[in-house]
Every structure is written in structure tokens, then in C-alpha cells.
Amino acid sequence: MKASPLVFAPLIAFAVIAAAFAVSLTRDPSTIPSALIDRPAPTFDLAGIGGADGLSTDDLRGGVTLLNVFGSWCVSCRVEHPFLLELAADPSVRLYGLNWKDPPEAAQNWLDRLGDPYAKIGADEDGRVAIDFGVTGAPETFVIDRDGRIRFRYVGPLSPETWVQEIRPIIAAIENDGDPYAR
């Protein structure tokens, strides 16, 4: 009895579908990929909180920046806050804050009570700058290179594990870009 090559079709179809599912299992469908990776950060100029200096696009140049989107209303931001204070103690890290849809008094109260890890904060009270950044929720953290381009976005609270496994390698890669105009 001669076997038609068609008898292998179901096996091949199964292998293709199984491979597609295996790849999909490693992805988190609830994390929306940022459309702004490798694009210049949007232009903005925000006031600060409690009379402090604000934050603008120009502040993002000249060094690798972490821009952390936070709000006093955001429970997960509270979770990552102690780690942000740890990061702030590291002089090689430049951490800026984007205070998202927060009344300035609430933000000030949050910083007074829990400590202020940010070198600079921009108050985005109406949420327009966050939309320009494609923010989908708080906390989110953007890694921005010294030319002001967005290189990475992390969705969710930062922790020592995510820092070591995801953020720090990306910062190291960006710093090794070999940009002739830097340093």
C-alpha cells in the first residue's frame, strides 16, 4: 500500500500550530508594546511640584534617563517606591518623575511622607504628556538615551529583580552605543 505524502499534513499542521502557541505562551498579551521605541521622546515642558523646578524635553539630553510615571493614587507606585529610593542613592542613575493626573498637593504630600527619589519632577496634571508618551497605566518607566530617544519601556512596578534582569542591561547597552559625541 503506497502512502500519500498527504498523510503527513495533519502532523505538520499540528507542529506549526504548536510552535505558534509555544511562542505566544512566552508573551504577556496584556502588555501593550510601546509604539515609541527608538523614537524621540515627545516634546513637553511641565511645571514642578511645590515650587520646585519642572521637567522639560531638554532635561532628557546629555545622559541616560529613567523617566518614572507615578501618581499618589497609584497603589503599585507605592509598592515600587522603596526601590526607587534605593536607586536614587546610586549616583550613576538619573531618575526623573512624571507625576500623572495628580493634584499637586497630593503629590507633595506623597513625596513628604514617603521620600522623594526624583532628581526632577514634571507635574502632568491633565495627563496630556502621558498620552504623548503612550502611557497605558502607572507605574511605567521609560529608559531614554542621551539623545533624548526612548529606548525601552517597563510596565509595572520596578523591583531589584527587574532592575538586574531587564533595566540595567539595557542601560549598559545604551552606554556602550559608541556615540562619538558623548563623553
Partner 1 sequence: MRGRPFAIVFLVLVASVAAAQVANPDEALDDPALEARARALDAAFRCVVCQSQSIADSDAPLAKDMRVLIREQIAGGASDAEVRAFLLTRYGDYVLLKPRLTGGTAALWLGPALFGALGIAGAVVFLRRAGRNFAEASAGGAGPDSDDPDDGPPDGRDP
Which amino acid is residue 167, in one-letter code? I
Between vectors from CA 169 to CA 138 and to CA 131, what angle results, nearest 5°?
25
| Among positions 10, 23, 27, 30, the unique one binding partner 1 when judged by CB under 8 A | 30
Q: How far is the CB of 19 from partner 1 (least distance, A)?
A: 13
Q: Categorise residue 161: left if φ over 0, alpha if ψ from -120 to 50, beta otherwise.
A: alpha
Instruction: Rule CB under 8 A: say whether 131 interacts with partner 1.
Output: yes
Q: How far is the CB of 38 from partner 1 (least distance, A)?
A: 13
Q: Which residues contact 87 (CB under 8 A, 6 or more apart)?
A: 66, 93, 95, 117, 158, 163
Binding residues with partner 1: total (CB under 8 A): 18
Rule CB under 8 A: say whether 132 interacts with partner 1: yes
User: Which residues touch 45 (CB under 8 Å, ≥6 apart)?
Assistant: 54, 56, 57
Choose, by CB under 8 A, the member of 127, 159, 165, 172 that binds partner 1: 127
Residue 16 in contact with partner 1, rule: CB under 8 A: no
Backbone φ and ψ of 143, nearest 5°: -105, 120
Q: Does 106 bind partner 1 (CB under 8 A)?
A: no
Q: How far apart are CA 154 and CA 106, in angstroms?
A: 25
- By CB under 8 A, residue 101 contacts partner 1: yes
Least distance to partner 1, CB of residue 3, Å: 10
DSSP 8-state assignment for residue 163: I
The answer to the question of residue 33 lying near partner 1 (CB under 8 A) is yes
Pick the binder of partner 1 from 1, 11, 22, 25 (CB under 8 A): 1
141 binds partner 1 (CB under 8 A): no
Distances (CA, A) of 80 to 60, 69, 70, 83, 121: 22, 11, 10, 5, 17
Q: Which of residues 38-97 bind partner 1 (CB under 8 A)?
A: none
Contacts to partner 1 by CB under 8 A: 1, 30, 32-36, 101, 126-128, 131-137
